[in-house]
Amino acid sequence: MPTVSGPSPTQEQIHAWVDQRLSPEEHAAVEALLAAQPHLHGEARQWRAQAQALRALYPEDRGAPVPDHLEDSLRQLALRQQRHTLWARWGGMAASVALAFAGGWYMRPPLSGAAMAAGTSSPHTFIQQASVAYAVYAPEVRHPVEVTSAEQAHLVQWLSKRLGRTLRVPDLSAEGYTLMGGRLLPGDSGARAQFMFQDAADHRITLYLGGVSTPTAQPSGHDTAFQFSSQGKNSSFYWVDQGFGYALTGVLDRAALMQLSELVFAQISAADTVTQPK
């Protein structure tokens, strides 16, 4: 991953440098900024070389405006290179899931006016967000969680307060998974939480949860059945219980993940039932 030091030139400055539209003083200033950003400097030099190659195709028209179709091609090429740099910085796994999230977002059915007013998170969107969170934090070596299991009481109290609901951490030790800790995450219309578990072989799963607004939800009982989703190597089971969404995610086959999801669901439901006022 490239090392970034110092301020970066703006895209306008880079394109002006590529097109040689800067005064000597401005050119020197942008050169200094690029020198501190080797990855940007290399890209900008490639763009300049491509622009020069295109100009060389039309030496007799050097003083004329660049043809629209060539200018559009240069813009598209620059955009592709910028996207490639962003994906490289994020890392392969997280980028692939984020790309899947973007694709899912544009392919999903449009929300109704009532759903948009209520800030509804569709199951598809919730699962994608859980999968992205898993892809970003599960590979972490030093900081996979924000608060470790050594402070579990504080972790649960803190996240419960932020999410506005008493949270339950399921006990998955019978399945070989121990709690590592958790963290606070942003959601569509409020806070979300993520609990992370790990087995003896360092395989990790996460429980992503938070409030969701579902217009069709019933005040009592369960709102939806389990829904399964697979994004690359990651798989998730999602369900909603009394206006709260849950997604269990890991690199597991469907049967194994389903078994864990049922265990999580049973424990959380049982705990909620016990604490409900009579």
Is residue 61 located within the same domain as residue 141? Answer: no
What confidence tens digit (pLDDT) does each residue in 223-261 have?
Answer: 557 889 887 888 999 999 888 899 999 999 999 999 999
The residue range of the domain holding 40 is 11-90
Given this model, what pLDDT does residue 224 score? 56
Q: Do 27 and 13 contact (CB within 8 A), yes or no?
A: no
E strand intervals along 126-203 = 147-148, 178-186, 191-198
Please report whether residue 5 resides in a domain.
no
Report the percentage of the chain scoring pLDDT > 70.
63
Report d(CA 50, CA 44) in Å as an integer: 10
pLDDT band at 219 (very low <50, low <70, confident <90, very high): very low
Is residue 201 located within the same domain as residue 63? Answer: no
Given this model, what pLDDT does residue 22 score? 85
Please report whether residue 2 resides in a domain.
no
- 3 state SS of 148: strand
Report d(CA 165, CA 204) in Å as an integer: 25
Please report whether residue 103 resides in a domain.
no
Please report whether residue 219 resides in a domain.
yes
**Domain endpoint, select from 73, 90, 107:** 90
142: domain CATH number is 3.30.200.100
Is residue 140 located within the same domain as residue 233? Answer: yes
Tokens of 251: 């690199």
Given this model, what pLDDT does residue 24 score? 87
Report d(CA 86, CA 51) in Å as an integer: 22
Report the percentage of the chain scoring pLDDT > 90.
34
Q: How many domains does the chain have?
A: 2
Is residue 129 located within the same domain as residue 225? Answer: yes
Question: How much is the average pLDDT of 179-189?
Answer: 90
What confidence tens digit (pLDDT) does each residue in 138-173 have?
Answer: 999 889 999 999 999 999 999 999 999 999 999 999
Report d(CA 224, CA 214) in Å as an integer: 10
Is residue 198 located within the same domain as residue 142? Answer: yes
CB-side exposure of 136: number of CA atoms within 13 Å?
Answer: 17
Is residue 22 located within the same domain as residue 147? Answer: no
Please report whether residue 24 resides in a domain.
yes
Please count the other Cβ atoms lying within 10 Å of the Cβ belonging to residue 261: 22
Given this model, what pLDDT does residue 173 score? 94
Is residue 228 located within the same domain as residue 163? Answer: yes
Q: What is the DSSP string of 216-232?
A: T--SSSBS---EEEEET
